[in-house]
Each structure stands twice: as structure tokens, then as C-alpha cells.
Chain A
Amino acid sequence: MSFPTPIPKILLVEDSQVDIMIVTEVLQDLAIECDLVTASNVEDALEELLVAEGASDAANLSQRLPTLILVDINLQGSSGLHLVRELKQDATFRSIPVVVLTTSQAPSDVKAAYDLQANCYLRKPIDYAQFRDLIAMIAAFWLQHAELPA
């Protein structure tokens, strides 16, 4: 390849320090090469995305748009579902896959997420091993198999 394949950028919107730690550990454990960016609330996440969009400097990898967004629902301040709505209403952001990763089992949350065009809804397992399997599946699907717009 003439151009090196850019490593995927993952935006994790999560206010739980523990979950950030676990996701980070799992990614390392699975040896998934990626650029993990975190935001602890909806506003930070939007800020991050807007900056990335404005920079449009392909050279600066840290300011690229994310390849995949993982979002929790129960966040301090605005709900993660609010972020989903904002993303899916925006012409630029709506093609970025959004995976809702949450502890909520409320059917109303599940339905709302899909209504807002979330790409999938997954429940965070408590057990580490299960968590690791789940992230492995997400990465395999969205980062390896799924064909995404350039």
C-alpha cells in the first residue's frame, strides 16, 4: 500500500472512570491498534467533533473525525441519547457508526436509541471477560468487516 492505512479513531463518551479504564484495558488486551479519545459528557463530545470537522487537516491524525463512537446513556448533564440525536441530524456526522454501550436495560431506552438511528445498542457486562468479548466483537465488526464511507 502506498498510503498507510490510518489507524481507527474511537470516540468514547463515558463519565465512568472505571468503564474508561476497562475499555482501555480491553483494547490493550486485545491488541487493537486504535486512537481512543474520551469525552465525559455530551458537550465535550460535540466540541471534539466540531473541532475535528473544522481542522480538516488530514495530517493531524488527532484532529480527524472518529471512525466509531461509543456512547453511554447515563451521563452527567445531557443524556447520551441527546448526543445520538445531534449526530444523526447532522449531515457530516450521521454516517459515523454510533454504538450505545450502557448499563440501562430499560426497554424505553432501547427503543429511543434505535428511534434516533443509533447503529446498535449493547449492554455493558459487569464481568470483565464478557466485556472483553463484547469489545472484541464491536471492533471486529465496525473496524474490520464493515465497509464505511471514506
Chain B
Amino acid sequence: MELPCTDSDQGPADKHEATGPSIPMAQISSGAAMIMLDASGRLILVSPAISTLLAIQPGDIGKSVADIEAFASDAAFARDVGRAIADGAHAVRLFTAPQRTLLARITPSIARSGEPCPVAIEFLDSDSNAAAPACGDEASYKAIVDGAPSMIWTCDPQGNLDYVNRQWVHYTGLPLAPTPGNSVDELIHPDDRPQAQLAWQRAVKTATSYRDELRIRRHDGEYRWFDTRAVPMRREDGRVAKWFGVATEIEDRRRSLQRLVRSEHRFRNVFEIAPIGILEVDWTPILDFLDESAASAEALGNAFRHAPDIAGKLLSSTTVTGVNPKAIQLFGASGANELIAKISQVFATPAADEAMARAVDALAAGEHGFAAEISLNAIDGRGVTVLLRMAFPTSESGNRVLVTMIDISDAVNAQRIEHKLAQIVNNSFDAITSKTPDGIITSWNPAATRLFGFTEDEVLNRPATQTIVPASHIEEEDAILARINKGETLAQVETRRRHKSGRLIDCAITISPLRDSTGQVTGISTIARDVTEQKRVEAESKVAAMKLQRSNVELERFAYVASHDLQEPLRSIAGPLQLLRKKYRGQIDENADTYIELAVQGAGRMRDIIDGLLAYSRVGRNAATIAPVDVDAVARHVVTILQPAIAAIHAVVEWHELPTLAGQKTLLNQLLQNLISNALKFHGDRQPHITITASRIDGTRRWRFAVRDNGIGFDMKFSEEIFTVFRRLHAHSKYAGTGLGLALCRRVVELHGGRIWAESEPGVGTTMWFELEDGFNPEDTGESV
């Protein structure tokens, strides 16, 4: 706005020379110092400025204005105030305070006709040096105007300033510079100029009052906020004669407003995005009820408990004035309106009633708030468990109660799960205990009592090393704790624990760390199982196995030693017999020759048996050399050795593609030699035909061999017996043999991780089946004598 300065050159101090029309004081806006009265004339609000100016005490609030010393002295003022309250009459008058004279503007609130209304009174500090002027005295007005803390000016309809007051000069630091074209625009903050110009142009165009808030530059260059107003003063013909303007500094208000806006914004944000449900509830009916009844809180608390209808009425008369998005979500509402409309349904639970009763108790007890865990109904019918907190009304919050709700349904569910787990633990057959990372026992299930004999009370909060860990295992326990604290889990550790009676128990324990949500090890859980019985059984079977092993070893040693030691006496029988036969054959008589011959044969058979026994007992006694064995070559070798026997009976021995596999060559040699010998020995009337075949068993490293003959066969009821030592199916006279051949075969096959069995049909033939594991690593071949 262009406000050209006037031509008159006035010093700021020269108030008496100020020119201008009578100033309509009703238009003066100050606001710097004001009080408010309610419709009964009681003081309800005092601005800080006036409370300093008139020495009004905080205790004066609520008193009738007539009873306040500062106001009581001026009867005329009191009368005008009374009229303003009663009739809504505006008034501006000088107010004679005990120490000074002020200009008072009495403004009734917009009153309904005939009813008293509250009144606001603004005071302007008049020049304290001036004598109290009489109303209507122009010089006095001028003095007042010049003394006013606001900047005041007048200008002609074209906007040329023709008067500024002392404050204007004082503030801007500009003398009245009547240079034409010198714009006061530059006094306005550049950011505020466009808006100010628009408002001014509109005011001028419509000849209506102008008002704007803008920043005006002070003499030191700082901009401060002003509430700037201008009103047109009209001539009798209605045209605008002058503009009368007032600029009141509102820097403080503006700043506090900005703070408020910021703070409101922050709180609004918190309200909107908080992860907790928030309801704002107007508790006026409850607070009124409390105000009205003497034994208020108790009565109301009881009402909530015992007279739900009253409580319900009270609660339903409170109104929810705000809900935040989280609250809407919490209760499954579609929006704020639905939640507010159905809020009584949400709180229609016994828990809520009880909580309200306790809340009122708390309120009555002078507490600032209340908290409870309660179940509420979501709008979709779900139960929602919340931790509900109420902040009771304070002087700042009026009658509003803030209700915050944190959804703890998950936590409650977790508790339920925990309860289930607890049952599992309690019913577990295994002893389940927990300890602190230092080894102090913190939980103890009934199975632990059964296992260890100690009751929960006897062990809780005591170190495990003082109860169930035997002294001999304390070091082990320390080592275990150290590992668990590093985060390891130890499964099925075999150790010993002490029963209350002192007896040691063999236990298998599984120990694992317990962690909190951050992963920190905060405890140790131990599951212990009594393995005393299991250990006993294991020990027994180990003993049995050892006995068996020892027995086998002893048998083998016996067979070896026996066969070895039998050699000497056999020699002493066979040797002389042979000398006897050699030297005396045909010299005694025919019978003697027969006897000697029988004895020599018997000694020979005995030699075969001893040799067989030696061979048998030697299988597996010597350290094995596992090497690739060409079974085909073994078969060739065996057939060469047996060639005389084969030729003697015109037998045919044939084989197809025998494999090479890792094994012990000497033993495989013995195996094939025994099987082929048997097939040759037990031939029938047909030409003996022996076939050897082999095939790999799919998907394994095993080979299955078959030695098939067309001999006499045998009854399958002997199919197992034939593999036992000294078991013979035929008389010596018919088929020679020691009864050790197949027993040796079985040993050889088993030593190669395989098995051997027979299929036979008398008169048709026999098939000896055996399987060998290629590269089987026998474990019991290390022993030698």
C-alpha cells in the first residue's frame, strides 16, 4: 500500500501540534491489556499486562469486579461495566485507577437479548503525566493517541498520511517525511507486501474496514508483527473522508501462536501416527456428577459396580470427541464415525465396567490417571485385550479424558501358549529345569523332582552345583555352562547327577541357551533323562558281546592250539605205524597187514581233520591284505589244482565272466576250491557238470555267485546244518571229508561281508550261492596268534 506522507513536519514529541479530526475511540484496538468478566460480573480472565498495571492478584480471579480494589474506586466505570453486562452496551471511557488513568474500552460479547453477557474490557495506558482529561476534550484525545502504545495514523482517501502518532515515529525511526513518492511500502516485510496491497486495495475500493497482520520494519531494521487495521470515516453524505489506522504489535502473540501451531502439529502427528489407540472423551457428565454429589467419587464408583444402569447412563452421556487411526484399526471400524457411533458396544464388557469403576475410584483418590488390562469388543466381534490408560482432566485439558489403548492380545495369546507349554513341561517325563547363566536353578518340573528327589523349594535359587551336580562333575558343569553361554547347544551329553539320597544317576542331558528377544543368553535350559537302566542294558549287552567275542576267540585259539598240539601225538602214532607197515608188511600174517593198514588210514584221516581245523581257525586270524582279486584267475588256478580229480570223473567245469573284486586272494582261493571239490565229490551217475556264474546286485557293490552242479543233491532240511563245523551228511566210507569245508566257506564269505546259502534237490543237483561285498573291509581280521 502506498501511504504517502503528509506535508506537515512534526516531531514525535510535539503532540500538541498534531492535527486531525476527533478520534472515534471506539475504533481503537489495543488488546495489550484486557480483562474479561463473566455474565455475573466476576473476573474470569486477566491479561498479564493489566495485572501488572493494576496490581491484580491471582486470587482476584473469580471475584466480582465490584469487590476488586482496583476497579471499585471508579463508580462511573463500574456503572458502564454493569450496563455492558446487562444490556450489551459498548462503552469507551477513562478509567481512574488508584495510581493512574487509563482508557477503557468495554466490549460486551454478542448477547442474546435480555440476558446478561460476559464482557471484555481493554485498557490503554494514557500518558501518566497528563491530567485526567474530560471526555470529549480533543487535546486529551490527542494526548491519549500520542501516548498509545500502538502506532496510529490517519490518511486521506487517496492514502496520503496526514497524521502519525509518536509511537509510529518512535517505532519506525522515520520522521514524518513528506517527500512525495516516498513509499511506506518499504516498511512492510517484502513477503507480506502483496497480500497487504491486495487487502488495502479491496478496502479502498469497497470503502470497508481494512485489517491485516503483517510485519513492519523497526528503526533498527528488525521486522515485527503488527495487527494493522484501518477504518474509513465517512462524511455525512456517506463518502469516505479519511482513513483511521492502528497498528498494534502482536509479535509476542504471533510467536506464541507459531509455537502453538507447531506444538499442535506435533501433537496432532503423534495422535495420528501413534501405534497406540487413542480416544478423546468428553467427561463433562461424570465430572458434573462428581461436582454435584458430596460423597461423589465413592458413590460413582459404587454406581459403576452396583448400579450399572446409572453407570451406563453416565457413560453413555459422555461423548467421544476424537479417535485416532490406530484406535479405528484396533477395533476394526471402517472409520472414525463408525467407531464413535459404536463405542458403547466396544466397551460393553464386564471387564470394562469394572475398569470404569476403578477409574472413577482413582479419580476420586486424586490420582492423575488410571491403567488396566481389559478385554473389549471389536466391532467385528473379535475380543481385543488392551492395556488401557486414562489421563484424567487437568486445568489444561478441560473436561477431556485421553484414553490410550495398547493391543496386548498377542501378549495374552503368548501367555496362553506359555501356559500350554508350562503344562507340557509339567507333564513331561523328562526332567526339565532352567538355570541362570551362572547356574542358579530357576525352574524345576515335577519330573525333575521324581528324578532327583529334590523338591522345587529345595533347589530353586540355589546353584545346581550345590544340589544335583556331584562334586566329581563340577568342572564338567562349569565347562558346559561356558559353552552354553557362548551359544552352543549340547545334545545327549552323558553325565552323572546326584539324587537327593546321594545316589548317582546316569543321565543323558540336553542343554541349550535361553535367549531374550535381542539374542542375549539369559538362561539355560536342561532336559535330563535317567539312562541308568539304559546304561545297565547297554553294559549288559556289551558284556554279552564281549563274552561272545572272547568265547569265539577262545574257540578259535582252541581249534588252533588243539590242531597244533594234536600234530605231535599224531606223528607218534602215524610215524611208527608207517615204519611198521614198511618193515613188516607180509612178515606177520594177513590180518596184521589189514590192521596196520586200517591204523595208517585212520591216522591219515586224523591228519586231514587237523589240517582242516587249522585252516578253518586260521581264516581271519592273520592281518588281511585286501587287494583286487581276479576271481576268474582264481577259478583257473583251482581247476588246475583239481585237474586230477576232474579228469578222474570226466567232469566239466565252466564259468562265465567272473569279476575282479577287492578281497583276500588266499581265502577266495580256499572258498572256490572247497565248493568245486564238493561239487566234484558229490557227483551222481551223470557226467558231472559244474557251472560258476556271477552277477552284480543292482545298485550295490555286492556280487552274487552261484556254483551249480548236477550231483546227488541233499535234503533242504539240512541246508543250514551243512555249514556247521564237523557236520557231515554222509559216511566216511562213502564220501571222504572232514566236515570242515563248508564251515570254512562260510567263514570266508562272512569275512568278505557276504553270506552263503544252498539250494538243493536230491538227485537233481545243488547250487551253492554266495555274495561278496566288493572291497568289504573286515573289522575282525586284525588278530593273529
Residues of A within 8 A of B (CB): 16-19, 21-22, 25, 74, 103-108, 124, 126-128
Q: Say yes or no: A128-B622 contact (C-beta < 8 A), given A16-B571, A16-B572.
A: no
Residues in B with CB closer than 8 Å to A105 are 564, 614
Distance from A144 Cβ to chain B, minimum over Cβ atoms (Å): 25
B568 in the interface (beta carbon within 8 A): yes
Q: Say yes or no: A126-B607 contact (C-beta < 8 A), given A16-B568, A18-B572.
A: yes
B55 in the interface (beta carbon within 8 A): no
Q: What residue of chain B has the Cβ atom nearest to residue A128's Cβ?
A: B578
Q: Say yes or no: A103-B567 contact (C-beta < 8 A), given A18-B572, A19-B575, A128-B582.
A: yes
Of the residues B575, B614, B784, B785, contact of A128 by C-beta under 8 Å: B575
B335 in the interface (beta carbon within 8 A): no
Establish whether residues A21 and B576, one from each chain, have CB atoms under 8 Å apart when the complex forms. yes
CA distance A112 to B363 in the complex (A): 107
Question: Top 3 closest A-B pairs, CB basis?
Answer: A128-B578, A18-B575, A103-B567
CA distance A128 to B582 in the complex (A): 9
Establish whether residues B576 and A126, one from each chain, have CB atoms under 8 Å apart when the complex forms. no
Could you list 30 A-B pairs, sorted by A, with CB under 8 Å? A16-B571, A18-B571, A18-B575, A18-B576, A19-B571, A21-B576, A21-B579, A22-B575, A22-B578, A22-B579, A25-B579, A74-B568, A103-B567, A103-B568, A104-B564, A105-B564, A105-B614, A106-B564, A106-B785, A107-B622, A108-B784, A126-B567, A126-B570, A126-B575, A127-B574, A127-B578, A127-B604, A128-B575, A128-B578, A128-B582
Q: Say yes or no: A126-B568 contact (C-beta < 8 A), given A18-B575, A21-B575.
A: no
Query: How large, as a class, is the contact surface on chain B?
Result: 10 to 19
Q: Say yes or no: A126-B579 contact (C-beta < 8 A), given A16-B571, A105-B614, A107-B622.
A: no
Distance from A93 Cβ to chain B, minimum over Cβ atoms (Å): 28
Interface residues of B in 565-609 (CB under 8 A from A): 567-568, 570-572, 574-576, 578-579, 582, 603-604, 607
CA distance A25 to B568 in the complex (A): 19
Known: A16-B568, A126-B570. 17 other contacts (CB 8 A): A16-B571, A16-B572, A18-B572, A18-B576, A21-B576, A21-B579, A25-B582, A74-B568, A103-B571, A105-B564, A124-B571, A126-B567, A126-B575, A126-B607, A127-B604, A128-B575, A128-B582
Of the residues A17, A107, A126, contact of B574 by C-beta under 8 Å: A126
CA distance A36 to B202 in the complex (A): 160
CA distance A22 to B576 in the complex (A): 8
Q: What residue of chain A has the Cβ atom nearest to residue B581's Cβ?
A: A128
Residue among A16, A105, A126 having the largest count of chain B Cβ atoms under 10 Å: A126
Establish whether residues B568 and A128, one from each chain, have CB atoms under 8 Å apart when the complex forms. no
Distance from A11 Cβ to chain B, minimum over Cβ atoms (Å): 21
CA distance A16 to B575 in the complex (A): 11
CA distance A21 to B572 in the complex (A): 10
Residues in A with CB closer than 8 Å to B622 are 107
CA distance A56 to B315 in the complex (A): 141
CA distance A105 to B570 in the complex (A): 15
CA distance A17 to B573 in the complex (A): 12
CA distance A7 to B604 in the complex (A): 36
CA distance A56 to B570 in the complex (A): 41
Residues in A with CB closer than 8 Å to B603 are 126
Residue among B570, B579, B604, B607 having the largest count of chain A Cβ atoms under 10 Å: B579
Residues in B with CB closer than 8 Å to A18 are 571-572, 575-576
Residues in A with CB closer than 8 Å to B785 are 106, 108
Residues in B with CB closer than 8 Å to A25 are 579, 582
Residues in B with CB closer than 8 Å to A106 are 564, 785
Distance from A111 Cβ to chain B, minimum over Cβ atoms (Å): 11
Q: What residue of chain B has the Cβ atom nearest to residue A17's Cβ?
A: B572
Q: What residue of chain A has the Cβ atom nearest to residue B607's Cβ?
A: A126
Residues in B with CB closer than 8 Å to A107 are 622, 784
Distance from A102 Cβ to chain B, minimum over Cβ atoms (Å): 10
Residue among A16, A19, A105, A124 having the largest count of chain B Cβ atoms under 10 Å: A105
